[in-house]
Amino acid sequence: MRRTVTFLVAILVSLAASAQQFPDLVEQANKSVVTVYVLEQKNPGYGDPFTKTSNEGLGSGVLVGEAGEWILTAAHVVANASEIVVEFYDGRKVSAKTKRVSHTADVALIQLDRPVSDIPPAVIGNSDNVRIGEDIFIIGAPLGLAHSVSRGIISGRHSEKKITSDLKSMEFFQTDAAINQGNSGGPMFNMKGEVVGVVSSILSFSGGFEGLGFAATSNIAKDMLLQRGSIWLGIDALPLNFELCKVFNVPQEGALLVQSVAEKSAGHFMGMKGGYLLMSLGDYEFLVGGDIILSLDDIVLDGQAKFEELRTYLNSVEERHQYVVKVLRAGEIIELKWRMED
């Protein structure tokens, strides 16, 4: 009996110590977490190519790398942003710009205009070691409530058969930790305080959290961004299939219809034009009047397989490469060129 009581006391002491350590872990991890404010400028579709409206967005992110200038976040938070401001836990705000994006993995890397040297960056863990059922916590800005913490477990590990630059499958963690709008791009931590995921999305029928949240694994994020990473084109484009190509008089069986172009992006410096007239086709609405991308370098976008090939190619191109893009503009094929160092 005495041995049993001693064993139970030991368990209770261990649980109490763990409960006391968790707030310390959160406090330390929280210092590297940021709120990401974005401003998007898009044409409202009234027929004037020079009119733009501004839309504000909100997400989360985490400081990574020893230089104190890189923020890891979600691609859908910053991909079309014309302005980005990052706010740290102490209220300090720093402007940033998008540098690398992987839409496939929904992760992005943005660079601060000025480095921060007094805030410790987060440690990126090895997500291959994470097990289903393992405890995790998420810090972000759900509904604008900055530095909110939610806790849960890894509910599942899912792969998508999408091509990456080294033929890896995309991998996501499923979690029951609460995720809402504003959490996107925020870090998922293990109980060592290491980042093991980047919050991507929720699966919901009500618009709110229903216990199904997803995060890109940290190893996929490292592979796609910190080690390799694709150039940020800064365009929002709609894939055109064979039937739509005939509607738009496109001289091939596939293309990309440019919807908008973010300022100070590669697409912007190339001189690419976004749409300005709203059009409806069935249940879909999109902008027309902008450029239609026919090819990038030697990749002619004449089918779905070529869109996947383009993603792979953009992940593998070296810096200072000169891009050559052919677009259809007002019935005329135009060649656009741009080099990253420009």
- Strands of 115-204 (E only): list them: 123-124, 135-140, 148-160, 170-175, 187-189, 194-202
DSSP code, position 171: E
pLDDT in tens, the chain (342 residues): 555 555 555 554 444 445 558 999 999 999 999 999 998 766 655 555 655 555 688 999 999 988 899 999 998 899 888 899 999 999 999 999 988 877 767 888 999 999 999 999 999 999 999 999 999 999 999 999 999 999 999 999 987 644 333 334 568 999 999 998 899 999 999 999 999 999 987 655 555 555 688 999 999 878 755 555 556 777 878 889 888 899 899 999 999 999 888 777 888 889 999 888 888 877 778 889 999 999 999 999 988 788 878 877 876 777 678 889 999 999 999 999 988 664
Residue 227 lies in a domain: no
275 and 325 part of one domain: yes
Domain that holds residue 144: 124-219
243 and 306 both lie in a single domain: yes
Query: Does the residue 275 lie in any domain?
Result: yes
Q: State the catalytic residues.
A: 76, 106, 184
Domain count, the chain: 2
For residue 338, the one-letter residue type is: W
111 found inside a domain: no
Q: Whose CA is closest to 101, among 84, 70, 79?
A: 79
Q: Is residue 214 part of a domain?
A: yes
Question: 331 and 244 in one domain?
Answer: yes
Residue listed under structure tokens 């596939």: 254
Residues 283 and 324 in one domain: yes
Structural domain includes residue 184? yes
Q: Does 99 reside within a domain?
A: no
Residue 253, both tokens: 């069986």
Write down which residue in 219, 246, 264 finishes a domain.
Answer: 219
Decide if 173 is inside a domain. Answer: yes
What is the residue type of 289?
Answer: G
pTM of the model: 0.69
| Same-domain pairing of 239 and 334 | yes
CATH number at residue 215: 2.40.10.10
Q: Which residue has the tokens 């705000």?
A: 93
Separation of alpha carbons 196 and 129, rounded Å: 9
Is there a domain that residue 53 lies in? no
Looking at 219, 249, 278, the residue that finishes a domain is 219
Choose one of 190, 219, 248: the last residue of a domain. 219
Q: What does the buried/exposed string (b/e) look like for 178-197 if buried means 16 or more CB atoms within 10 Å of the residue's CB? A: bbbbbbbbbbbbbeebbbbb
Q: Return the CATH number at 280.
A: 2.30.42.10
Rounded distance between C-alpha atoms, residue 264 and residue 286, angstroms: 23
C-alpha gyration radius of the chain: 22
| Together in a domain, 139 and 182 | yes
Pairing mode, strands 187-189 and 299-300: unpaired
